[in-house]
Structure 1
Amino acid sequence: MGRIKWNIKDQAIFLNRLSTLLDEGYTMSEAIRFLSIQSEKPKGETLSKLETVLKNGNPFYVVLQKMEYDPVAVSFCFYGEQNGRLSDSLKTAGEILQKRYDDRQRLQKLAAYPLFLLLFIGVLFVFFQWLLLPQFHILYESFQVEPNMILSILFWLNDHPFLLLLITTCTFTVVFFLLNWVKRHIGDYRFQCIIVEIPIVGSLFRLMNTYYISYQFSQFLKNGLSLSESLTFIQRDPERRFFSEAAERIERDLISGMSFDRAVANIPLWQRELSLVIHHGQLIGKLDTELSSFSRYCLERFSEKVDRMVRLIQPVIFSLIGIGIIFFYFSIMVPSFQLINEL
């Protein structure tokens, strides 16, 4: 398949173009061949190999997995192939990836200047730590004056730089392996249940989960599949394993006689309003339409929250820089003035 990993922007463009060609009546092989002709040599060769793999009977989502495509694209293509709406799924996945790319670009632009300031301050701190601080240390020792707590910490850091590096590296390593161990030990479903309870970040995960499940259910129902058949397909999701367990739990509750909306309400992965939407949709006989509308609403709320967070990043970084500079200044200058007064 080739080992060239496509970035998010290229993935979004490819999925959108492929969706457009399918809508115009191209078969999948014809559309991919057409796109391979237009693409640059490395990508064109990859698409040609993709066409060959598809002709050998492999599902499209499996091919995307081998190409290391984003999990969102893989999952949407999996569902699109199952519910017969592959073109719509490709378009939706492309739009989501494009939005993610745009958000990432905006974040980089907003954070560029604050990060430059942080880098500049970091260079000044290193300069102070290795050149000026030893002079302060000698000065305090010569006058037998006890430094304040901040200076004592800085003196210790200056005397034990490699120990600090070792502690920092070990801490990050332990945290990384601990999180992976916890995820493997408790399973994807319970780990995701913990994630959605984290303040601020958890609400984003919950909104995206709700959008995802609402959209997929609406597509299955529009194609005439029953709830049981829809749950069976969701249990086969190749990327979101936690959804598989959630679907199994819902299916068990349905078998025990519980209503669909109550079974959904027992799952903490998505918004509480989802069960109300399902209940109302079943009452009026338009569950597929209600879920489709609710999925768009969740995606809009998700985008709004991300936009607010992005706009907050720059002033927060500036504030932290300002507070750090003031704190650093007073921690150094106040003891220096006290030392001068004692001369």
Structure 2
Amino acid sequence: MGFRKVVNGCMIFRKSWTKKEQAELLIHLGQCLNDGYPMALAVRLLLFRQRAQVKHDLEVMIKKLEGGRTLYEALADLHFPEEISSFIYFSEESGNLAKGLIESGRMMSRREQHKETLRRLLRYPVLLLWVFGLMMFLIGRFLLPNFLRLYRSLSIDLPLITKILLFSANHIYYLLFILPLLFLSGIAGTIYFRRMTMERKLRLMIHMPLVGHYTRLYLTHVFSFHFGSLLRSGLPIRQSVAALSQKGTTPFLKFEADRLQKELLEGRHFEQIMSQPRYYMPELVTVIHQGQLNGMLGASLCRYSGLVMTKIDEKTRLLLSFCQPALLLFVGGLVLFLFASILLPIFHIVNGL
């Protein structure tokens, strides 16, 4: 019965908390730990300004922490994103929990900001596309057929652009079959992708346009942050690699830990091992080389991970800044096509007269 209550509480947390609220929780906990507060008290401080449902979830979390559960386990039970739970796990392992909480919260906050920006940018172009589709259907089904009859009576051939619009309007109902088919294909592709081995997933993703570059940046950031944090806490390379394969890590880090352990047992140098994969940024090997020369490999990797995250944010903002103008140009071209298909027949009729 008790386990059932905990599960229900977890499900409520997952449904009622937004990503923004989760990010605020992580940042608050990290700041409280920096100020010297114990974890349970840091969570209690949030109870006074939360709605009833969130208070219930925080009380469940406090009971788990007081019962001896780690923060990573409490957050995993509350269905936090896997990678965020992994960040917290490594932060606990390396003794940098406060910094890890703040970094994780800021990462979630940045993602939500990017999603909100993208939704805001797409809102107007999507509305225009919907209006364009409605106009094309109405014009193609009711207006252009009259032009077609008039042209036939005058023995004048329709312009090509008008023929294209007429054909599109008469076959627009095919979208009712195409869209569900695309949706089902997307679901099937997602299921197939999840069943792939990690090696095949990485090989596929790094060869995809645009996605490949983001994949390299993200994986470089994840490995640099986690591995650098473990090294900076005083663990040697082999023990840090072993820590990557623990239960709190993500599937990618487990895959990478198995690869590194196998290569290290064969007697290869760490720098040489890290130069082989194509799913990391080329600069990572240089950072590892310089860090080993200076005896500051952990600190170098942590600093490099921050630079990579900054680069990801900059590229994301740049990409988002191009989204709306590109969509508006595309929709503007469609509207121009629509009006040209209407006006050209009129000009042809006038010239014919």
TM-score strictly above 0.5: yes
> What is the one-letter code of the residue matched to 2:315?
K
Stretch deviating more after TM superposition (20-29 or 138-147): 138-147
Aligned to 1:50: 61
Q: Is there any run of 5+ residues in structure 2 with no aligned partner, and where?
A: 1-8
Contact 1:215 1:292 (8 Å CA) reproduced: yes
Shift of 1:339: 5.3
In 2, Cα distance between equivalents of 1:237 and 1:208: 21
Matches within 5 A, 1:61-210: 61-136=72-147, 138-139=149-150, 147=158, 151-152=162-163, 154-184=165-195, 186-210=196-220
Secondary structure of the equivalent of 1:199?
coil
Are 1:328 and 2:338 counterparts? yes
3-state secondary structure, aligned to 1:268? coil
Question: Equivalent residue for 2:33?
Answer: 22
Equivalence map 1:293-312=2 (5 Å): 293-312=303-322
Is residue 2:268 matched to residue 1:258? yes
The Cα of 1:166 is off from its aligned counterpart by 0.9
CA–CA separation in structure 1 for the residues paired with 2:109 and 2:182 = 35
Cα deviation for residue 13 of structure 1 reads: 0.8
- 121-130 or 142-151, larger mean C-alpha shift: 142-151
Quick one: distance in 2 between partners of 1:157 and 1:66?
A: 51
Tell me by how many angstroms 1:137 deviates.
5.0
Query: Cα distance, 1:191 vs. partner?
Result: 1.0
Which whole-Å CA distance do the structure 1 matches of 2:197 and 2:170 have between them? 44
Asked which structure has the greater RCO (Cα within 8 Å, sep 6+), the reply is: 2
Report the Cα distance in structure 2 between the residues aligned to 1:106 and 1:112, rounded to whole angstroms. 10
Mapped partners of 1:127, 1:67: distance in 2: 50
Give the superposition deviation at 1:298. 0.7
1:214 maps to 224
> Partner of 1:11 in structure 2?
22
1:270 alignment partner, SS class: coil
Q: Any idea what SS the aligned residue of 1:174 has? A: helix
Q: CA 1:110–1:155 in structure 2 vs 1: closer, same or farther (change >3 Å)?
A: closer
Q: Give the conservation status (yes or no) of the 8 Å contact 1:16–1:94.
A: yes
Deviations along 1:178-214, whole A, 9 cap, x unmatched?
Answer: 3421441x32332133213322232122112111111
Aligned 8 A contact 2:147 2:345 in 1: no
Alpha-carbon displacement from aligned partner over 1:131-158 (angstroms, at most 9, x marks no partner): 3344445555666766566545544454
Q: Which moved more, 1:235-244 or 1:281-290?
A: 235-244
Whether the aligned pair in 2 keeps the contact of 1:15 and 1:90 (CA below 8 Å) is: yes
Give the conservation status (yes or no) of the 8 Å contact 2:125–2:328.
Answer: yes
Given that 1:246 and 1:267 are in contact with CA atoms closer than 8 Å, whether structure 2 keeps it comes out as no
- Residues 1:249 and 2:259 aligned together: yes
Give the Cα separation in 2 of the matches to 1:46 and 1:90.
18
| TM-score in terms of structure 1 length | 0.88
Matched, 1:288 2:298: yes
Under a length normalisation based on structure 2, what TM-score does the superposition of the two structures give?
Answer: 0.86
Give the direction of change, closer, same or farther, for the CA distance of 1:157–1:281 in structure 2 (3 Å limit): same
1:110–1:172 CA distance, 2 compared to 1 (3 A) = closer
1:15–1:94 contact (8 Å) kept in structure 2: yes
Task: Summarize the Cα distance change of 1:72–1:144 in structure 2 as closer, same or farther, 3 Å threshold.
Answer: farther
Query: Which segments of 5 or more consecutive residues in structure 1 lack a partner in the other structure?
Result: none
* Matched position secondary structure for 1:26: coil
Distance of 2:19 and 2:334 partners within structure 1 = 36
Fraction of identical pairs, as percent: 27
Q: Distance between the aligned counterparts of 1:59 and 1:330, measured in 2?
A: 66
- RMSD after superposition: 2.6
- How far residue 15 of structure 1 moved from its aligned partner, in angstroms, is 0.5
Matched, 1:318 2:339: no
What do the CA deviations read for 1:245-286 (whole angstroms, capped 9, x no partner)?
122112211111111111112222221111121111111211
2:32–2:42 contact (8 Å) kept in structure 1 = yes
